[in-house]
A and B are shown apart, each in its own frame.
Chain A
Amino acid sequence: MSRLRRRFVDVSTHAALLVVALTFVAPLLWLVSASLASPTDLLTNGGLVLTSRPTSANFHDALSINRFGRSYANTIGVAVIRVVVQVALCSIGGYALSRPGAGRRTAVLAILLSAQAIPSFAPAVSWMIMFGRIGLSNSYTALVVPTLFSAFGLLFFRQTFLTLPREIVEAAVVDGASPTRRFWHVALPHARPQLAVFIVLVVIDSWSDYLWPLLIANDSDHRTLSVAIRLLAGRSPADQLGVRAATTLLAILPLLVLVVVGLRFVHDDNHDQSTRVA
């Protein structure tokens, strides 16, 4: 291809991508705009154009909503507990499953594969009845406990540790390291990138979870953001959209930041992938 033609293709590729990318972020850009808009702007132009100075009043109002901070704290708390416990259980369990011999544990694999095949909406009604029976509806325990176990996580880490050269762990066996030390000092340090990916996936999953928090923690003390934001739907007067937009923006902001940071990190990590085989 001639140089000129290649340049033309490059420029038009970027142009097309830019248009699509802007379309994709447009609803979020509008959200930012509406959250900064004054009531007049919301009434006259839907908050899209800011004729008056951007105002932070909406954010002040959003933060002063009584239960918003509580929901925020609940969401963060649930995410942190889920990350810590799932990482602990799944990484060490996945390592055990990656060791020679685990492939023949058919009972274990049957449990894992069938649990993975059951989507989380299915047992939620049972969970609700279970926790209701032992008097734990609307409790943090019920909100968190059923989400701590992940067949996907175990299989994910099993796959990760299977790619470790066997000699690394065998050498530690010869050196007389205990299984825990072999896991912690030998295997786990090799799995840092996958660990980061897993944490991101768990955070996204936890943050967005809707059905279970709705079923078990519907009161204002235990509500998570996902459930609280849903209550903003419904017919609201236009001049109140600003506060609601600000609330929504604050609720989704952490994950947006997570994506930007995560992509930056991973991108730098495997720059120019196309030349590598994998």
Chain B
Amino acid sequence: MTALGTRPLRSGTRAVAPPMDRRPRHPHADRWVGDERRWSRLVLAPSMIGLVIFYQIAAFGMVLVSVSDYRGAPEVDLVGWDNYAFAFGAASSRAALVNTLRLVAMVVPTSLVLGFTLALLLRRVRRGGWFYRSALLFPAVTMPTAAGVIWQWMLRPDDGVVNLGLGLFGVEPHAWLSNPTSAPIAVAAMTCWQYTGILVVIFLAALRRIPADVHEAAVVDGAGIWQQTTRITLPLMAPTVAVNAVIMTLVSGLSLGSIVALTPNGGPRGANRTLGFEIHRQLFDTARFGRAAALTTVLLVLVMALGGSQLWLSRRFVNYGDDDRSGML
């Protein structure tokens, strides 16, 4: 188990060893030895063939579709950049990009701050942490479409519990999902509700990896809780927060099932139509595969750029323990 304390932080220096093999050199490090050679190829073959067909070839195929007018019929013509002209030019696609960015801009800071604060609180808890973590994770394992329908029912204008509850305080009922301002806020609130619990668990695992003696030293030096948090915990956690900011950007930007269930037609004046929603609409409402594929390609490029930056961030700053995933639950 690698941890902050056992491996020196590499900042600025490039790793000498190839990144996939950090172990000391082994006499046979260059090849699978003896009977392992054929065996390894045999057990890896199904996965490799499956991955190449269903990821690499399929992604390539999608790019091909994006320059064609494929609509399900066998006759297909190549149409060049037409679909991309649509993806970048059409008002609906631009609106979708803006809607996606707005959702990300609302969700990412809110969920990170909330998640971090809750993780700091949970770290102090000696008993009952299990209860809180379960409660916070329930929304995360509620499938997105179910989350969407639950929120839709709660936000019903006339008889939804949210309006009824606010009515007790004398607040006038509000049509949350048919107002172009409040509908995107409802989506953002729902998305924060879904994913903050996961952030709490990840942050909690990272907090626990900060060696206790760092804090003890600070206490000896007379640092209070506030100073410990801002001077020690926050700087040490900054890389984890940065990586999770990128992950949350991806997750919230790509959420589809919850939005489709919350506002099946994309909300008032299409305010909730994100890029994912727009792809979904091109596939189902108009069966224009070419346009959907062009939009998907654009989204894929954005995602891979973000994913690359995340990889860079984590390689450069974060030292994931080997049991990182087990810390998630």
Contact = CB atoms under 8 A, between A and B. Distances in A.
A125 B292 contact: yes
B48 A111 contact: yes
A227 B145 contact: yes
Interface residues of B, number: 113
Contacts of B235: none
B30 A48 contact: no
B313 to A, nearest CB: 15
Interface stretch (A50-58, A59-67, A126-134): A126-134
Given A30-B161, A126-B59, A266 B150 contact: no
B143 A208 contact: yes
A101 B142 contact: no
Given A21-B132, A163-B1, A118 B257 contact: no
Q: How large is the interface on A (under 10, 10 to 19, 20 to 34, 35 or more residues)?
A: 35 or more
Interface in B260-290: 260-262, 264, 276, 279-280, 283, 289
A174 interface: no
A100 B26 contact: yes
Contacts of B153: 34, 241, 244-245
A208 B33 contact: no
A60 B235 CA distance: 55
Contacts of B138: 24-25, 28, 256, 259
Contacts of B296: 121-122, 125
A33 B326 CA distance: 34
Given A17-B121, A30-B161, A121-B296, A274 B212 contact: yes
A197 B29 contact: no
Contacts of A225: 143
Given A25-B135, A90-B47, A121 B29 contact: no
A69 interface: no
Contacts of A42: 159
A75 B278 CA distance: 26
B318 interface: no
Contacts of A171: none
B329 A115 contact: no
Interface of A is mostly: helix
Given A46-B159, A111-B52, A233 B325 contact: no
A78 B6 CA distance: 42
A6 B304 CA distance: 47
Contacts of A27: 139, 150-151, 154, 193
A217 interface: no
Nearest to B147: A27
A48 to B, nearest CB: 5
B220 interface: no
B28 A226 contact: no
A274 B123 contact: yes
A123 B326 CA distance: 29
Residue picked from A97, A245, A278, most chain B C-beta under 10 Å: A278
A166 B21 CA distance: 14
B134 A233 contact: no
Interface string B278-314: 0110010000010011001001100110011000000
Given A21-B131, A99-B36, A101-B29, A266 B65 contact: no
Given A92-B43, A102-B32, A17 B132 contact: yes
A122 B143 contact: no
Interface in A80-114: 89-90, 92-93, 95-97, 99-104, 108-109, 111-112, 114
B174 interface: no
Contact of A154 (B47, B136, B292, B325): B47
Residue picked from A47, A101, A241, most chain B C-beta under 10 Å: A101
Nearest to B45: A93
A251 B289 contact: no
Interface in A215-230: 215, 225-227, 229-230
Given A28-B138, A45-B164, A89-B46, A248 B146 contact: yes
Contacts of A168: none
A16 B139 CA distance: 19
B276 A233 contact: no
A179 B124 CA distance: 46
7 contacts: A27-B151, A123-B55, A125-B289, A127-B54, A149-B51, A260-B134, A274-B123
Interface of A: 9-10, 13-14, 16-18, 20-22, 24-25, 27-28, 30-31, 34, 42-43, 45-48, 89-90, 92-93, 95-97, 99-104, 108-109, 111-112, 114-115, 117-119, 121-123, 125-127, 129-130, 132, 146, 148-151, 154, 156, 159-160, 162-163, 166, 178-180, 193-194, 197-198, 200-201, 204, 207-208, 210-211, 215, 225-227, 229-230, 232-234, 238, 241, 244-245, 248, 251-252, 255-256, 258-260, 262-264, 266-267, 273-275, 277-278
8 A-B pairs with least C-beta separation: A103-B21, A123-B58, A149-B50, A210-B257, A126-B58, A21-B135, A96-B40, A278-B1
Given A123-B58, A126-B57, A197-B325, 4 more contacts: A115-B55, A119-B303, A146-B54, A277-B1
